[in-house]
Structure 1
Amino acid sequence: MVNTTLENRRPFIFAIFLIVAGVIGWFAAFDLTIEKIETLVNPDYNPSCDISPLVQCGVNMASAQGAVFGFPNPIIGVAAFIAPIIVGVAILAGARFASWFWIAFNAGLLGGIVFVAWLISQSIFVLGTLCPYCMVVWTVMIPMFFYVTVFNLKEGHFGNSGASRRIFARIYPFTWVLVLLGYLAIIVMAQLRLDAITTIILYS
């Protein structure tokens, strides 16, 4: 008899989401890396992502915040976004990972979202810019962190009990609410600090 319980179903949609989010994040990081290389090769180069005084990436790339570890931040993204792509593809291929693997994957995303949150604060409150490619990375990192975390909780990968797993299984379809709140927090901060909406309209 075929076992069709929730625990034994492969999360196809979840896997596809990881692949798509990883690909989008990777291309954003890759494009930003190319832009950084262009500015190093040609100091007079005007980055294609410099759309207006507010929406631009030139200031971010030239700042200390743009190379926290001594090399351009997007290089981290080029390397890191490979992980969700591989995990997603592996799930589609039928792979099943041990709890320790999911915990490690979640820990990596936690580190990523903390770093992204810090970069968001620096971009809005210190540099006063909204980097287009950076915002693409923010857009995929927020849902990846929340969905993977709630997925792990509902699957019991953190060693949580059956009762809590059932609770998080019911919460999981509504994870988009957490994602939306994350997006709204960025929009509110950008509007209050930079009057982003008015500025974007004026330069559009």
Structure 2
Amino acid sequence: MPATPHHRAPGLGIWLMIAGAIGWYAAFALTQERLHLLEDPNATASCDFSVLVQCTANLESWQGSVFGFPNPILGLAGWIAPLVVGAALLAGARFARWFWLLFWAGMAFAFGFVIWLIGQSIFVLGTLCPWCMVTWSVTIPTFYAVTVHLLRSGAVLDSPRVRRVGARLMAWVPLASVVSYAIVAVLAQTRLDVLSSLF
């Protein structure tokens, strides 16, 4: 695939490093909380602020260990990828089409998993986990940004028209992320009446 300025994407590299660092720290904090609860089943997680806003219910539910181990371990491993890819982009690296598609597949899995966890938290568990919400807040825009980058770089379809559309869409990633946050907030308020619990 011919080289283009979009392949280097320093702006995307910076975002991937920021999101990766935030996501990794959230996963680390949740892992610490889970280990603390395993050591002392009667303990309370430091991120438990109320019946509505807490980590314990999420961590101790089956949804918190979907694959047979605590979900935060996925974050500890998974968020390393954006950190490394972001640093590589800043260093001037250019990746092959297969690499971008593989990276996108990982981000798509993370995005889908987060959407499922949001639904479980709001509609099944009835709680909002603070560190989980931090993870949601960086996963959503990262998925959007990587998806649009694949369009503008020609990794999906090497067409000038697709590249132009992707380049225009990149400016809309922040707004799309805010809209996504708003949808989650409305769902949480409708289902859990979050505002009334704050007053």
Indicate the TM-score class for this superposition, using the shorter chain for normalisation.
over 0.9
Count residues in correspondence.
196
Q: What is the aligned-residue identity percentage?
A: 50
Encode CA deviations 1:30-75: one digit per residue, 9 max, x unaligned. 1100100010011121100001111100000110100001110000
**Cα deviation, residue 159, structure 1:** 2.0
Deviation (angstroms), 1:152: 0.8
Query: Which structure 2 residue ranges, 5 or more long, are not aligned?
Result: none
TM-score normalized by structure 1? 0.93
List aligned pairs for 1:7-156, cutoff 5 A.
Answer: 7-8=4-5, 10-156=8-154
Q: Distance in 2 between matches of 1:19 and 1:167?
A: 25
Deviations 1:170-192 (A, max 9, x none): 22112112111211110011010
What CA distance in whole angstroms lies between the structure 2 residues aligned with 1:89 and 1:74?
23
- The one-letter code sitting in structure 2 at the alignment partner of 1:7 is T
In 1: Cα distance, 2:105 partner to 2:74 partner? 16
Task: Give the distance between the partners of 1:22 and 1:171, measured in 2 at CA.
Answer: 22
Q: Which runs of 5+ in 1 are unaligned?
A: 1-5
User: In the alignment, residue 143 of structure 2 is paired with which amino acid?
Assistant: F
In structure 1, give the amino acid aligned to 2:193.
D
2:176 partner letter = L
Aligned partners of 1:44 and 1:79: how far apart in 2? 28
C-alpha distance in 2 between matches for 1:103 and 1:12: 19
| Structure 1 consecutive aligned stretches of length 4 or more whose deviation exceeds 6 Å | none
TM-score (normalised: structure 2): 0.95
CA deviation profile, 1:84-118 (whole Å, cap 9, x unmatched): 00000111111110111111101100011101100
